[in-house]
Amino acid sequence: MAPPIRSVYVHAPFCARRCSYCDFAVTVDPDGDAGGWGEALAAELRQVEREGLFGPASLLTTLYVGGGTPSLLGPGAMDVLAGALGPGRLSAPDLEWTAEANPESFTPELAKRWRAAGVNRVSLGVQSFHEPTLQWMGRLHGAEGPARAVEAARDAGIANVSIDLIFGLPVALGRSWTEDLERALAFEVPHVSLYGLTVEPRTPLGRAVAEGREPPVDAERYREEFLLAAERLAAAGYEHYEVSNFARDGLLSRHNGAYWDGRPYLGLGNGAHSYRHPVRSWNVRDWEAYRARVLAGESAEEEREELTAEAAALERVWLGLRTREGLARASLGPRGLALAETWIGQRLADFLGDRVRLTPLGWLELDRLAVDLDAVGAGLRPQAG
């Protein structure tokens, strides 16, 4: 029998405007539509319950509200969500409830209301402290916004704060990656996530690059900034526990851990993905189309795929290599072990006890290394530990 769902992702699709590089399922609406959002989620939940997937007493260990910009929905949005999910699902004493926020809309009042509703972890979309860079990205919070937001979270009793930063930006912006890292470190938050700029064709940035108005991502700069950050954050006491994520005091993202461990999760909202081995499914991406469907009592699911044994094996290798847990040596077989030893010679990996783990240098080549390891049959062996 499939294990029960203990992790839920909820998508909040609204943003005040679209950032130049963003390819997420976003609806531009300066005020958001908290009422419509709550109504649609409640309708989708009723549908999911009818399908017998997720009963009112399914106790969650992690809940993650992402976006979009959840903080744009105003102070009452998390109460609305708690009402839709119901107390039976939210009563675990160790529930990790994360909500993403942008600094400009994460006010002291909103922070207090979120905390009262049950939110105990906030992920702040900071990206940079450099004004010209923030303007280039189309972000609204200004250089001082993050400090106000971190203070608001702490004053509300939310100490578990994560900060997102972006690296690999065009040199012409004059952004100093070192300075931005130091400003982020000065907050002494327990969690930092780093994302390299990627140019997606459907975005304003993608079009600007295609037309030659912006340069493509500089691969060497991307690599240097990633390695510099890995070194600086490690020196500041952060554990680099996954390609993009760093934590202190053991405050890893437990919700993301469910993704990386291959545990089942349910996604609610437009564009949200769900997984229950071996089936992965995703909801319709457009907010209005999603809303119309769920309010009509129909399923929000757009498509599903069943992972083949081969695809599942590659995914196990890829997911294993992306975290500091790595893979059990016993799962690799002689050819996998021989390959891992060549990686160690190239400083792409190391052995820790009975595990093989990638180094930051190895993480820069994660996709290639996972494919190479899978090709020698490593993922087909059951994991030992």
Residues in contact with ligand SF4 by the rule CB under 6 A: 15, 18-19, 22, 24, 26, 67-69, 102, 125
- 373 near 332, Cβ under 8 Å? yes
Q: How far is the CB of 214 from ligand SF4 (least distance, A)?
A: 17
φ, ψ for residue 349 (rounded to 5)? -150, 165
Q: Which residue, 106 or 343, has its beta carbon nearer to ligand SF4?
A: 106
| Comparison of 69 and 245: residue with beta carbon closer to ligand SF4 | 69
The closest of 227, 110, 112, 90 to 168, measured between CA atoms, is 227
Compare residues 19 and 349 and give the one whose CB is closer to ligand SF4.
Answer: 19
By beta-carbon proximity to ligand SF4, the closer residue of 192 and 378 is: 192
| Residue with smaller CB distance to ligand SF4, 101 or 319 | 101
Q: Which residue is listed with tokens 């690999």?
A: 168
Toward ligand SF4, which CB reaches closer, 26 or 327? 26
Query: Residue 70 Cβ, how far from ligand SF4 at the closest point, in Å?
Result: 10
Closest distance of CB 138 from ligand SF4, Å: 7
Confirm if 326 and 356 have CB atoms less than 8 A apart: yes
Cis amide leading into 68 (omega within 30)? yes
Amino acid at 133: T
Least distance to ligand SF4 from the beta carbon of 31, Å? 14
Query: What angle do helix axes 366-375 and 309-322 make, rounded to 10 degrees?
Result: 130
Residues in the chain: 385
Closest distance of CB 63 from ligand SF4, Å: 19
Q: How far apart are CA 321 and CA 183, in angstroms?
A: 30
Least distance to ligand SF4, CB of residue 106, Å: 12
Phi, psi of 332 (to 5 degrees): -85, -30
Angle of helix 287-295 relative to helix 34-50, nearest 10 degrees, comes to 50
* H or E element that contains 282: strand 279-283
DSSP 265: B
Residue 102 or 162: which CB sits closer to ligand SF4? 102
> Which residue stretches of 212-330 are H helix?
219-235, 254-260, 287-295, 309-322
Shortest Cβ 299–ligand SF4 spacing (Å): 25
